[in-house]
């Protein structure tokens, strides 16, 4: 009747933002949850801010002895979670007040569902929407995932049956795609569900990890995932036929990064290579969005 949620929040040097993030969890209309904050050995005053909340029982605060990457932090959070379901929230992002209530209602209405998501958007510091992310239909979840990481690490909910088994890759060169890899493992065995409502928000700000080199190893990550799928019989059965789409999807991401680096000619070549790799990608909304961003002044 009342599912219990674990909200896992990895953090590193977000003392200026994390209290706002936590307040969006504290004000949930649904009361049955725990918050696990895993601090990656922050060098600012994060610990000073969060220890009083831990002492009051409002959060569970775990501090790593050194700065691992966020995959390690999420693994630590999952290892300490007690929830029937678990969800992730980055320490600069937001939940809507009804996020967990809607999730609880969804669980009651779909008792067999072990993994689902709500939608999320991109907002500014005032929580005004900057961008509404497109979400693919779920009639073919394997093609949808190979077309891009539409689940990310915000708004996704996984049952204890899942989060006690899966683990994030802690290889530093996988940062930026460590969550993407996990969803391949999850969706290979479970059918994805969705709450058709924006209940989480990613905050846009200059210090977001996506603006600070998190995607510098995309070629390595692409090769790693393609190899993993080709060698794992279960993954290959579900995703193998969409390997070209996965390859092309990474190429689109590389094109975006090159555009941000003001390497327009290389970005255009990467876009062309994506089409060459999987021509059908031109029918996707993501392709048109990437193309627009590359050719605009």
Nearest by Cα to 248 from 282, 220, 216: 282
pLDDT for 214 equals 57
Helix (H, G, I), strand (E, B) or coil at 293: helix
pLDDT for 212 equals 58
- Other beta carbons within 10 angstroms of residue 197's beta carbon come to 14
pLDDT for 1 equals 76
pLDDT for 113 equals 97
pLDDT for 261 equals 85
CATH class as words, domain 5-211: alpha beta
> Global pTM?
0.94
pLDDT for 73 equals 96
Q: Are 214 and 176 contacting, i.e. CB atoms less than 8 angstroms apart?
A: yes
* CATH 3.90.550.10 in the chain, residue ranges: 5-211
pLDDT for 222 equals 96
Run means of pLDDT, 10 residues per run, the chain, 297 residues:
95 96 98 98 96 98 91 97 98 97 98 97 94 95 97 96 97 93 98 98 81 74 97 98 97 91 92 97 92 85
Burial class (CB in 10 A: 0-12, 13-18, 19+), 31: exposed
pLDDT for 44 equals 96
pLDDT for 260 equals 84
pLDDT for 107 equals 98
């Amino acid at each position: 009747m009342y599912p219990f949620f674990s909200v896992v929040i990895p953090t590193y040097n977000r003392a200026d933002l994390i209290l706002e993030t936590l307040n969006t969890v504290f004000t949930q209309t649904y009361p049955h949850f725990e918050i696990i904050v895993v601090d990656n050995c922050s060098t600012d005053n994060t610990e000073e801010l969060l220890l009083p909340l831990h002492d009051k029982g409002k959060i569970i605060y775990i501090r790593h002895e050194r700065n691992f990457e966020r995959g390690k932090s999420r693994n630590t959070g999952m290892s300490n979670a007690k929830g029937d379901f678990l969800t992730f929230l980055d320490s600069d992002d937001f939940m809507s007040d009804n996020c967990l209530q809607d999730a609880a209602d969804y669980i009651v209405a779909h008792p067999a569902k072990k993994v689902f998501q709500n939608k999320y958007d991109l907002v500014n510091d005032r929580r005004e929407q900057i961008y509404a992310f497109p979400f693919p239909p779920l009639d073919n979840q394997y093609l949808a995932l190979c077309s891009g990481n539409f689940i990310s690490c915000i708004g996704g909910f996984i049952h204890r049956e899942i989060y006690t088994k899966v683990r994030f890759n802690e290889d530093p060169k996988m940062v930026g795609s460590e969550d993407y890899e996990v969803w391949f493992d999850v969706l290979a065995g479970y059918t994805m569900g969705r709450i058709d409502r924006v209940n989480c928000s990613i905050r846009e700000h200059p210090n977001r990890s996506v603006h600070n080199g998190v995607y510098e190893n995309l070629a390595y990550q692409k090769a790693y995932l393609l190899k993993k799928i080709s060698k794992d019989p279960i993954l290959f059965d579900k995703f193998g036929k969409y390997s070209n789409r996965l390859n092309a999807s990474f190429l689109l991401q590389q094109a975006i990064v090159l555009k941000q680096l003001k390497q327009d000619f290389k970005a255009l070549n990467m876009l062309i290579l994506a089409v060459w790799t999987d021509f059908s990608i031109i029918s996707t909304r993501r392709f048109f969005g990437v193309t627009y961003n590359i050719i605009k002044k």
